[in-house]
Amino acid sequence: MQPTVALPQSITWRVQIDRAMWVAGVRALMLQALHPVAMQGVWQRSDFMDDPTGRLLRTADFVATTTYGSPQEAEELGKRVRMVHQRLSFTDPATGRRHRADDPDLLVWVHCAEVVSYLEVIVRAGVRLTASEADRYLAEQTRTAGYVGLDASQVPGSVAEMRAYLARMRPVLRAAREAAATVRFLLWPAVPERLAWLAPLKPLWAPIGALAYYTLPDWARRAYGVLPEVPGSQVAATAALRALRGGLNAVPENIYNRLFDEATVRRAQAARVRLEAAGYDLSKGFAGLRNPASWPVPASADGAPPPA
């Protein structure tokens, strides 16, 4: 039986199965936009402004596939991503230099902005991780970087390495005109026709966009200056983020899954079959698998779980 990419015992599962990932994903886009060259790639060669929801759902599908998809599903998706990047190039108007979308330096930035956003937002939303578990998460994500064409050695594999990388990148980062426009757009994006049924619920997006913004690092918010900084805003943001997470967790799975593309839902269903066959208890859904009591009884003397 083909295993899943990340077992419920992994830190990747604990972080990326969490429903606060909606905020984390938007925050990642806002942070990524601060790299002026990477932002030009999105601005010139992406349909992001025409279909922001599609971009977010594609990111959600990538996260889902590299969390609970099969290795074959993850590699196939990674291959498609790599092929798209290989075909795209763009010009930096500031220098006139031509760049490829699969430039390793740009891919490293996109990867790091994503995974650090996932980690920081999910922990702030209430998921408890020790320092060693945070390190393990970033180490696990070095494998995910391989799906977009990077080697594990090219990306930070610990919190200390991630902090050092972000510190090195600070002089490069700035809120260019396109980046500021992207953030404003993310705060109130258009609803695509295929999700027209969600249009009456669009006001519910406001807290997701605002929380994504207020969970950015202080220096990033200062660079953007899009929303006001008032005393107590960070305490309020943390409380609101935890409340939003609680509300999302209360949504029944059959309703929650309507937010995703059909392919993502099919992958989740296939993962359930694999995990149940391996002895995992899914009576409380994927979220319930974060409880070790739902895992199979170890089959080896060293306590390692049987492969899924």
Contact between 216 and 30 (Cβ < 8 Å): yes
pLDDT at 199 over 80: no
What is the arithmetic mean of pLDDT over 240-251? 94
Which two structure tokens, joined as six digits, stand for 64? 């889902």
Cα diameter, the chain: 61
For residue 195, the 8-state DSSP code is: G
pLDDT in the model for residue 303? 46
Read off the pLDDT band of 196 (50, 70, 90). Answer: low
| pLDDT tens figures, 206-222 | 889 999 999 999 999 99
Read off the pLDDT band of 282 (50, 70, 90). Answer: very high
Instruction: Tell me the CB-side half-sphere exposure of residue 178, using CA atoms within 13 A.
Output: 21
Which two structure tokens, joined as six digits, stand for 146? 């391989």
Read off the pLDDT band of 267 (50, 70, 90). Answer: very high
Mean per-residue pLDDT of the chain: 90
What is the spatial distance between Cα 66 and Cα 89, in angstroms, rounded to a whole number? 26
Number of residues in the chain: 308
Q: Which residue has the higher pLDDT, 204 or 41?
A: 41
pLDDT at 304 over 80: no
What is the arithmetic mean of pLDDT over 88-97? 92
What is the spatial distance between Cα 58 and Cα 80, in angstroms, rounded to a whole number? 12
pLDDT in the model for residue 302? 46
Of the listed ranges 72-86, 98-112, 117-131, 252-266, the one predicted with least confidence: 252-266
pLDDT at 299 over 60: no
pLDDT at 198 over 80: no
99: helix, coil or strand?
strand
The closest of 211, 182, 25 to 119, measured between CA atoms, is: 25
Contact between 216 and 253 (Cβ < 8 Å): no
Q: What percent of the chain has pLDDT over 90?
A: 74
158: helix, coil or strand?
coil
pLDDT at 106 over 70: yes
pLDDT in the model for residue 308? 47
Read off the pLDDT band of 150 (50, 70, 90). Answer: very high
pLDDT at 231 over 50: yes
Which two structure tokens, joined as six digits, stand for 57? 């759902």
pLDDT at 55 over 80: no
pLDDT in the model for residue 235? 97
pLDDT at 151 over 70: yes
Read off the pLDDT band of 56 (50, 70, 90). Answer: confident
pLDDT in the model for residue 168? 98
pLDDT in the model for residue 69? 94
Q: Could you tell me the pTM of the whole model?
A: 0.91
Q: How many CB atoms lie within 10 A of CB 65?
A: 24
